């Protein structure tokens, strides 16, 4: 365990699906959620357990579906073949067990690509998976669905951000004294780790290129700030700042000095502003070879970590919250929770928390000495 973890224990949820998974239970209906993103293809299979679900199977593969989309406006043949291989694998996993319901979604790459609908029609014919292209608003709602338990430890408002491969979603949220979080406003920026990496020709570890990325994203964020005055709310206090993405979980892994990435150690961690800034600075000094060799990054993600850090740096500079709650959960978990709620006869309720396998945050990680 790293030095930072010994100095500052984390503050996380006390009961979770990880605990529930080890308890013998009567057979429950099984649900599955598939998220085909610009960079990743992810599958999660679970069964209801308590107020959440227990994970039965999961899958994640980097497919880079949006590679080249910024230049051509189309999904490339190589990108589609990579995604098809992953989707065939997902279909095979689902065929091994009786599944009550499957929700499968696609996000920014298929929203933007001229041939996105054509590709998803091919997916349905070859794999049997019917994938819906969701709106950016539903992306924000699903992220809030899965992350809302991490927002229960106080505050009046929350800013949730999800840095994806092709877009970045931000949700401005009201936290009532009782009941579920409520979405006040949201914005989807057409920049993610893949699109930003492709738009800027220089290497992201070059300071001038990195700062150009930060400035580009900050310019896109200012209209959202002018509408909601989030900076003023942060200065008044009572605003929770929550990030869910590979970028933010990587920063947490670096801040914790993890010998390899650990979801239980990262999900629900609370980083101080200084700790997050220090982790970002450390990532920027590694260079591509160092990023590829780092156990919390790896060769497949080495080209996309610093563009993600640039997006994070722009968000963090415009809205300087004193702490960041880190969430290793997102659209798949939100979809499963909605499916389970529908099974229980309550019907899906967009942008509401409630059922979750995860507990709240527990502890603030300070900057390394």
Contact between 64 and 77 (Cβ < 8 Å): no
How many domains in the chain? 2
In this structure, is residue 219 part of a structural domain? yes
Contact between 166 and 250 (Cβ < 8 Å): no
Q: Same structural domain for residues 36 and 151? A: no
In this structure, is residue 352 part of a structural domain? no
In this structure, is residue 172 part of a structural domain? yes
Report residue 248 CA to chain centroid gap.
8
Q: Same structural domain for residues 106 and 177? A: no
For 101-193, strand residue ranges (E) read 101-106, 132-133, 157-163, 168-174, 182-189
Alpha helices by DSSP H, 237-304? 246-255, 263-266, 273-285, 287-293
Strands 52-62 and 31-36: unpaired
Q: Same structural domain for residues 48 and 159? A: no
Answer whether residue 180 shows pLDDT above 90. no
DSSP conformational letter for 11: B
Strands of the 182-189 sheet, one edge to the other: 182-189, 168-174, 157-163, 239-244, 323-327, 270-272, 364-365
Q: Same structural domain for residues 213 and 150? A: yes
Query: Residue 212 has which token pair?
Result: 């150009």
Query: Residue 224 has which token pair?
Result: 């959202």
Answer whether residue 17 shows pLDDT above 60. no
The DSSP bridge partners found for residue 16 are none
Range of the domain at 36: 7-136+332-343
pLDDT digits (tens, 9 = 90+) for 327-363: 999 899 999 999 988 887 644 444 333 223 333 444 4
Contact between 67 and 5 (Cβ < 8 Å): no
- Gap between the Cα atoms of 197 and 347, Å rounded: 40
Would you tell me how many other CB atoms lie within 10 Å of the CB of residue 276? 26
Distances (CA, A) of 166 to 107, 191, 313: 8, 6, 17
Answer whether residue 152 shows pLDDT above 80. no
pLDDT band at 369 (very low <50, low <70, confident <90, very high): very low
Answer whether residue 24 shows pLDDT above 90. no
In this structure, is residue 351 part of a structural domain? no
In this structure, is residue 2 part of a structural domain? no
Average pLDDT of the residues of the chain: 84
Q: Same structural domain for residues 70 and 26? A: yes
Closest to 143 (Cα-Cα) out of 354, 334, 340, 339: 334
Q: Same structural domain for residues 96 and 239? A: no
| Cα angle: 84, vertex 89, 94; to 5 degrees | 120
In this structure, is residue 47 part of a structural domain? yes
Query: Residue 9 has which token pair?
Result: 């224990």
Q: Same structural domain for residues 326 and 336? A: no
pLDDT digits (tens, 9 = 90+) for 77-98: 999 999 999 999 999 999 998 9
Q: Same structural domain for residues 92 and 221? A: no
Query: Residue 130 has which token pair?
Result: 């019917």
| Cα angle: 68, vertex 70, 76; to 5 degrees | 30
Task: Using a cut of 0.85, tell me whether the model's pTM lies above it.
Answer: no
Contact between 160 and 147 (Cβ < 8 Å): yes
Maximal CA-CA distance, the chain: 58
In this structure, is residue 60 part of a structural domain? yes
Query: Residue 149 has which token pair?
Result: 């338990």
- Gap between the Cα atoms of 276 and 266, Å rounded: 13
Q: Same structural domain for residues 80 and 158? A: no
Strands of the 40-49 sheet, one edge to the other: 52-62, 40-49, 31-36, 101-106, 132-133
In this structure, is residue 48 part of a structural domain? yes
Tell me the mean pLDDT in the region 243-261: 92
Answer whether residue 112 shows pLDDT above 90. yes
At residue 174, φ and ψ (nearest 5 deg) are: -90, 135
Q: Same structural domain for residues 276 and 171? A: yes
Q: Could you tell me if residue 238 is left (phi over 0), alpha (psi between -120 and 50 degrees) or otherwise beta?
A: left
Which CATH number is 75's domain given? Answer: 3.30.420.40
Which CATH number is 185's domain given? Answer: 3.30.420.150
Q: Same structural domain for residues 326 and 216? A: yes
pLDDT at 202 (0 to 100): 67
Q: Same structural domain for residues 127 and 190? A: no
pLDDT digits (tens, 9 = 90+) for 217-235: 999 999 999 999 999 999 9
Query: Residue 274 has which token pair?
Result: 């200084």
Nearest-10 crossing angle of helices 273-285, 246-255: 90
């Amino acid at each position: 365990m790293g030095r930072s973890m010994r100095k500052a224990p984390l503050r996380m949820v006390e009961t979770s699906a990880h605990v529930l998974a080890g308890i013998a239970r009567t057979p429950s209906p099984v649900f599955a959620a598939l998220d085909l993103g610009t960079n990743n293809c992810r599958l999660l299979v679970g069964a209801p357990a308590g107020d959440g679900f227990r994970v039965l199977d999961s899958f994640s593969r980097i497919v880079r579906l949006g590679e080249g989309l910024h230049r051509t406006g189309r999904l490339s043949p190589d990108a589609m073949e990579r995604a098809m291989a992953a989707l065939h694998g997902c279909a095979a996993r689902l065929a091994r067990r009786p599944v009550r319901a499957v929700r499968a979604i696609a996000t920014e790459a298929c929203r933007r690509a001229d041939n996105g609908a054509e590709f998803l029609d091919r997916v349905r014919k070859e794999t049997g998976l019917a994938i819906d292209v969701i709106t950016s608003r539903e992306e924000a709602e699903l992220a809030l669905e899965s992350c809302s338990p991490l927002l229960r430890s106080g505050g009046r408002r929350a800013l949730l951000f999800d840095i994806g491969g092709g877009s970045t979603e931000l949700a401005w949220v009201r936290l009532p004294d009782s009941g579920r979080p409520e979405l006040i406003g949201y914005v989807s920026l057409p920049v993610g780790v893949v699109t930003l990496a492709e738009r800027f020709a220089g290497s992201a570890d070059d300071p001038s290129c990195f700062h150009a990325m930060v400035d580009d994203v900050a310019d896109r964020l200012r209209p959202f700030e002018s509408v909601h005055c989030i900076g003023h709310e942060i200065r008044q206090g009572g605003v929770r700042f929550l990030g869910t993405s590979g970028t933010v979980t990587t920063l947490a892994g670096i801040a914790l000095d993890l010998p390899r990435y650990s979801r239980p150690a990262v999900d629900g961690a609370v980083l101080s502003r200084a700790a997050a800034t220090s982790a970002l600075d450390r990532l920027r000094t590694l260079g591509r070879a160092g990023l590829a060799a780092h156990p919390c990054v790896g060769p497949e993600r080495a080209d996309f970590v610093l563009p993600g850090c640039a997006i994070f740096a722009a968000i963090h500079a415009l809205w300087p919250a004193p702490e960041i709650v880190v969430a290793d959960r997102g659209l798949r978990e939100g979809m499963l929770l909605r499916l389970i709620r529908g099974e229980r006869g309550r019907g899906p309720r967009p942008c509401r928390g409630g059922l979750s396998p995860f507990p709240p945050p527990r502890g603030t990680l300070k900057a390394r000495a």
